[in-house]
Amino acid sequence: MSRVCQLTGTRANNGMAVSHSHIRTKKLQQANLQQRKLWWAEGNKWINIKVTTRALKTIQKKGLGPYAKSLGINLNKI
């Protein structure tokens, strides 16, 4: 599977590593993805999902169902 958040769609960012002598080389800044088993109250089941830590923080605040609904994600298909 690719390194993409299944809720927000966050993926790697292209960046530059800058050395002390200011030599710039390309690098990828990967998203902080975690594999989690989350309880979905509306569907009354557990969901295995790969999400970023930023999305996990928002899930703790809003809840999994309302957050997925605001993003337009159907949790039945995950």
Strand partners, 47: 38
Q: Is residue 22 part of a domain?
A: yes
SS3 38: strand
Q: For residue 59, give the CATH number of its domain.
A: 2.30.170.40
Q: Is residue 53 part of a domain?
A: yes
Q: Structural domain tally of the chain?
A: 1
> What digits encode the pLDDT tens for the residues 41-74?
999 999 999 999 999 999 999 999 999 999 999 9
Q: Is residue 37 part of a domain?
A: yes
- The stretches of the chain forming alpha helices (DSSP H) are 53-62, 64-71
Q: Is residue 66 part of a domain?
A: yes
> What digits encode the pLDDT tens for the residues 18-42?
999 999 999 999 999 999 999 999 9
Domain encompassing residue 39: 13-77
